[in-house]
């Protein structure tokens, strides 16, 4: 084999070996809003909390993007946007006749004030991981903006990548008062809890 041909073979072999490495690394996924959702559990408190209802609120996703680096999860990030006016009281655990009033109160100036603050946004600031691809257990710290107020939040998230599809599930809690929202009360004896439990499923496709 000539020196020139041997050199060509070595170069080609090197390129083929490097190809998988270049294919790895950061990947960009666009959120599928139709297949993604967040659910907010609104509990109750107060001396006569047994007399009130809990509320379940569904928060459809407007849009979002996930940058995931399976080899270096700390370099990953996510941004999600929700339409505040699209939040919907499901009626689970309460009288259907109460749903319209609860819905109106939630979107009104007493709580979300959706006309003045139309979007809810989460943007990550740091990602740490356990496990390895295709399933990662992540702790995602970030900033959440609700009611025009931005506060830090941390979510525990399980991420699974299957080909070009990404699915993330997780949960976290927030306090309404930290976002300038006073928990609604009825007669001072039944009111919703300050702390809200939020669970979510995010579906996304690589672009």
Backbone angles phi, psi at 73, to 5 degrees: -55, -30
Specify the range with the lowest mean pLDDT, choosing from 75-79, 136-140, 174-178, 186-190: 186-190
Q: How confident is the model at residue 20 (pLDDT cuts 50, 70, 90)?
A: very low
Nearest to 92 by CA among 62, 57, 127: 57
Could you report the per-residue pLDDT of 78-113, keeping only the tens digit for each? 999 999 999 999 988 677 787 888 899 899 998 999
The CATH number of domain 25-206 is 2.40.128.110? yes
Residue 104, pLDDT score: 92
* pTM for the predicted model, two decimal places: 0.79
Which sequence spans correspond to the domains of the chain? 25-206
Backbone angles phi, psi at 86, to 5 degrees: -90, -5
């Amino acid at each position: 084999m000539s020196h020139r041909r041997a050199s060509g073979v070595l170069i080609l072999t090197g390129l083929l070996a490097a190809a998988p490495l270049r294919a790895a690394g950061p990947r960009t996924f666009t959120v599928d809003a139709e297949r993604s959702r967040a659910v907010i559990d609104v509990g109750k408190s107060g001396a006569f909390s047994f007399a009130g209802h809990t509320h379940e609120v569904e928060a459809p996703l407007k849009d979002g993007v996930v940058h995931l680096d399976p080899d270096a999860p700390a370099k990953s990030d996510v941004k999600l946007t929700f339409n505040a006016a699209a939040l919907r009281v499901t009626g689970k655990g309460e009288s259907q006749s109460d749903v319209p009033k609860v819905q109106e109160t939630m979107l009104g100036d007493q709580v979300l004030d959706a006309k003045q603050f139309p979007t809810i946004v989460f943007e990550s600031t740091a990602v740490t991981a356990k496990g390895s691809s295709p399933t990662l257990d992540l702790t995602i710290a970030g900033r959440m903006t609700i009611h025009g107020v931005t506060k830090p939040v941390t979510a525990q998230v399980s991420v699974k990548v299957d080909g070009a599809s990404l699915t993330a599930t997780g949960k976290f809690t927030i306090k309404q008062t930290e976002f300038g929202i006073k928990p609604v009360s009825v007669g001072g004896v039944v009111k919703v809890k300050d702390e809200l439990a939020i669970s979510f499923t995010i579906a996304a496709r690589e672009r």
